Amino acid sequence: MKAGSLPHLLFAGPPGVGKTAAAIALARDMFGEGWRNNFTELNASDERGIDVVRNKIKTFARTAPLGKATFKIIFLDESDALTPDAQSALRRTMERFTTTCRFILSCNYSSKVIEPIQSRCAVYRFRPIADKDIEKRVKHITREEKLNLADDGLEAIKYVARGDMRRAINTLQSAAVLGKKIDAETIYQTVAMARPEEVNELIELALKGDFMKARDKLDVLLIDQGLSGEDVIDQVHRATMNLGGISENMRVELLDKIGETDFRLTEGANERIQLEALIAHFMLAGKK
């Protein structure tokens, strides 16, 4: 890419898929060893008001680039957290300082970035990292760090990560603190998640109509393992999506009820009552 041909960029995608790394790699490739002199990074979730656009961003944008660079780069992370007024001010700033500055905006949800900004940027959408790529990187780290990662531990990391490379690496690092041998049990203890088999057992008990046993399994997750209601509902949703042996109509009905329960938990309802009601609904659906 020619130095003067870089447009404003908008990187959109879930956390941990390489948006920030891509922006830094681009700056290093374009500016070489002195890339830090012509690159600044701001986190919009920390400073999300209009003042940060009027002061910090404008101050950096109006100064001339250093060295042989023809422009500077401002990387604005989590730009979807900017207030509407700040985004409107940013739109005008992007127009005024095009000769001396390029913007790279990063966000989780491009729909929260106003259309005038999106139309000024080349939009790149990042997908979750594939499991095979997470596996490759985790194995490389374990070799370099001389860790003993069991096969079930690797599968647990991929389950926990859900396409988030940063979370996969952080999980591995946290588990390594407990010892050189890392298995699935260590991983799930580290991240405070239930084993997928336990969640599947909870759902199967409910669908078979055994409410009390399903309730006992829920107690194990909430009390013995200390999971929150939001953690449980998230894993129940994942398990229901992959559940075999049920019709599509039943899956839709169960997912609808899961969504309703999740909303009520978000609004502050009692998690035990809501989760027990969800189990009851699964039991009734299984009898149809």
Amino acid identity of residue 8, one-letter, is H
State the burial class of residue 199 (Cβ atoms within 10 Å of its Cβ: 0-12, 13-18, 19+).
buried
Contact assessment for residue 262 and residue 231, using Cβ atoms and an 8 Å cutoff: no
pTM of the shown model: 0.79
Domains of the chain by residue range: 3-125, 131-191, 196-286
Q: Which two tokens stand for residue 101?
A: 């500055």
In CATH, which of 3.40.50.2300, 3.40.1440.10, 3.40.50.300, 3.30.530.20 is domain 3-125?
Answer: 3.40.50.300
Q: Give the number of C-alpha atoms closer than 13 A to the C-alpha of residue 2, restricted to the C-beta side.
A: 2
| Cα–Cα separations (whole angstroms), residue 229 to 83, 211, 273 | 31, 18, 10
Amino acid identity of residue 181, one-letter, is K
Q: What is the pLDDT of residue 1?
A: 44
d(CA 211, CA 202): 10
Statement: 131-191 belongs to CATH 1.10.8.60: yes
Q: Which fold has domain 196-286?
A: Zinc Finger, Delta Prime; domain 3 (1.20.272)
**10-residue stretch averages of pLDDT, the chain, 288 residues long:** 71 92 91 85 68 71 76 88 83 83 90 90 93 94 91 93 93 88 89 90 92 92 89 93 88 94 93 93 85
